[in-house]
Structure 1
Amino acid sequence: MKELSVVVFGGSGFIGSHLVAHLAEQGCRVVVPTRRYESGKHLILLPGVEVVEADINDDAVLRRLVHGKDAAINLVGILHSRRGNPYGPDFKRAHVELPRRIVAACAAEGVPRFLHMSALGAAAEGPSEYQRSKADGEMAARSEPTVAATIFRPSVVFGPGDKFLNVFARVQRFMPFLWIPGASVDFQPVYVGDVARAFAHALTDVKTRHLVYDFGGPTIYSLGDLVRLAGRYSGNPRRVFEMPMGLGRIVAAFLELLPGKPLMSRDNLDSMKVDNVVDPAIQRSTAAALGIRLTALEAVAPHYLRADHRFDDLRARAGR
């Protein structure tokens, strides 16, 4: 990859950290804006990476951040919002208004490319506020004709540091069994490294401009099966039962009242009214079109979920 100058919004998060590391390895110069410098300091030792404190809600700041860049990448996303119709204000600000403002800044500063993270299942008439806001976010990403957008729609993303399999593994350390709503819903989890490679590929492949890529891994699992795998790989296998969705909504409503981010919300359950898998009948581009060989969950998850993984990390940092 020739040296490119890129700004990555959301670059200090789970997916962003993997992508920024991959771009740095490919020789890109990367700017990562963050509200708090501490959130991105794990990236500062990567070659060509600059972490800057910035208020991305300020349009003038956005223009300064994208000025002189070859591309902007937006990975910002949230799972919970205050409720609203067709979606709540937090979803609107993060999923719709932010990409529209970023791409407007790109247009104003002559930045030709915008790569945007959406989500598998994004649909204007989707059952959840999350899915509906993601669909409108895709429209926002395409709102400037002078900026060529590429949109990625991954299923749930797994890998070291994820908040998906790691959460299920951690819960099973303390629970004798799990009773979860949506256990029979299908997902097609995709490895974070494959997602990072897809974004990096799109930066230099002109054929990816103006396209949407649906991204799922090589295998479809029910949510219950994924929970069982997380327990097995972490050394804490538990029996998993399916909770009736009606009862699940009552539990989710209670969790929404607790301080902090809820473990589960009613909108999360609404998203699970449809399977989160790539539809083979829809002729959108997929990982195969980018030449990416998808990574099996079984090849990666056992290593980062095992109980002694954190001690391996400590030993590696100590050079042992």
Structure 2
Amino acid sequence: MKIERICILGGSGFVGTHLVSQLAARGLQVRVLSHRREMAKELILLPTVEVIEADVHDQQELIRHFRGMDAVINLVGILHESTVGRVDLPSARRGDFQKVHVELPRKTIHACGESGVRRLLHMSALGANPNSRSAYQRSKGIAEALVREAAMHHVEHENWYLNGPKFIHGYGLNVTIFRPSVIFGRGDSFLTMFASLLKAFPVLPLAGADARFAPVHVDDVARAFADSLDNTATYGQTYDLCGPRVYTLQELVNYVGEVTGKKRSILPLGNLLSYLQAWALEFKPGKKLMTRDNYFAMSVDNVCGGGWPSVFGFQPSALEAVAPEYLRAKTPRARYEGYRESAHR
């Protein structure tokens, strides 16, 4: 069956907006579920895109909105749990990660089965592991197990992942799981964050300076999702998605400084100081820069064992070919060049 109608959870997010645009450009009908319609206002203008305000955590709503769709894509994810009113350790917290990364995929799987959808694409993360010390990686690993079980046919068995017996039904879904390294691109929360920090501080104490990443461009991740929809060779597969080069975190921060003209002294922190910095930043009001759970996640290299999956038929973009375009856009010199271009001088 040719896939022409796709429902996307998380379509208004960073990867989601790029994916929806690519699918719309291919003439596919896309339904985006968002808890606030105005968050996806740039997508509303696309001719084949329908944005619906919905509670994606309501299973009955999912079933209703999945009906008539050929495929479902789940991109919903969070990087940090809320610490409001909590003083317990990250390893003991189960709130937001449990709801978003475990319960939502479970509801999505069931809604696919109840609504007759047989194609499911799921966004996981490199390093996902049910036994990880990081709660983020644990929740992602549990979700992967649930998605794989959904591919089974007519299976019901006990599942002890969630502190007790749970029964998981195999729906015979055609599933594909994607596990990207850190994703970069215009509007990212990674390189752009470091660009802001380098602008604000003359010396930057850096936790996890030796952590290794293989950044992958957001357009490449979106294209891998889009290309896999009708490709039966991707059914039942899990793909690690990495860019062409591996960097330490310190190398990445230095590179951002060079590109933005904000070269700073980097002070690498050892394990203890890195943990203490993460602990302090975890309780900082406002947007979270780092938590102890991030510290635990960075203890595992965020790189791929092999190259880019050949099934997709293209090679990923190098960070150096893309990042300067949007990182330099925030510098005074880039704005000056923009004014000159506008004035045709």
Instruction: Give me the TM-score of the superposition, normalised by structure 1.
Output: 0.92
Question: Within 5 A, what are the aligned runs for 1:40-59?
Answer: 40-59=40-59
1:168 equivalent in alignment to 2:174: no
Q: Name the amino acid aligned to 1:190.
A: V
Residue 182 of structure 1 aligns with which residue?
Answer: 208
1:304 equivalent in alignment to 2:329: no
Residue 235 of structure 1 aligns with which residue?
Answer: 261
SS in 1 for 2:149: coil
1:213 equivalent in alignment to 2:235: no
8 Å CA contact retained: 1:122, 1:134: yes
Q: Deviations over 1:221-252 (max 9, x none)?
A: 00011111112212212122211221222222
Shift of 1:156: 0.2
* Change over 3 Å in CA distance of 1:86–1:139 after alignment to 2: farther
| 41-50 or 141-150: bigger deviation | 141-150
**How many residues align structurally?**
313
Q: Quick one: percent identity of the two aligned structures?
A: 46
Q: Name the amino acid aligned to 1:67.
A: R
1:289 equivalent in alignment to 2:311: yes
8 Å CA contact retained: 1:142, 1:148: no
Write the distance in 2 (CA, Å) between the matches of 1:199 and 1:252.
Answer: 33
Write the distance in 1 (CA, Å) between the matches of 2:191 and 2:136.
Answer: 20
8 Å CA contact retained: 2:91, 2:293: no
Shift of 1:198: 0.3
Residue 78 of structure 1 aligns with which residue?
Answer: 78
Greater Rg, structure 1 or structure 2? 2
Shift of 1:127: 2.6
8 Å CA contact retained: 2:207, 2:278: no
Residue 173 of structure 2 aligns with which residue?
Answer: 147
SS in 2 for 1:204: coil
Write the distance in 2 (CA, Å) between the matches of 1:250 and 1:191.
Answer: 31
1:224 equivalent in alignment to 2:230: no
From 278, 286, 289, the counterpart of 1:263: 289
Write the distance in 1 (CA, Å) between the matches of 2:311 and 2:125.
Answer: 18
8 Å CA contact retained: 1:198, 1:287: no
SS in 2 for 1:161: coil
8 Å CA contact retained: 2:211, 2:300: yes
Q: Which runs of 5+ in 2 are unaligned?
A: 84-88, 151-170
SS in 2 for 1:172: helix
Write the distance in 2 (CA, Å) between the matches of 1:220 and 1:198.
Answer: 20
1:13 equivalent in alignment to 2:13: yes
Residue 115 of structure 1 aligns with which residue?
Answer: 121
CA RMSD in angstroms comes to 2.3
SS in 2 for 1:77: coil
Write the distance in 1 (CA, Å) between the matches of 2:30 and 2:292.
Answer: 37
Shift of 1:286: 4.3
Residue 144 of structure 2 aligns with which residue?
Answer: 138
8 Å CA contact retained: 2:3, 2:229: no
8 Å CA contact retained: 2:308, 2:315: no
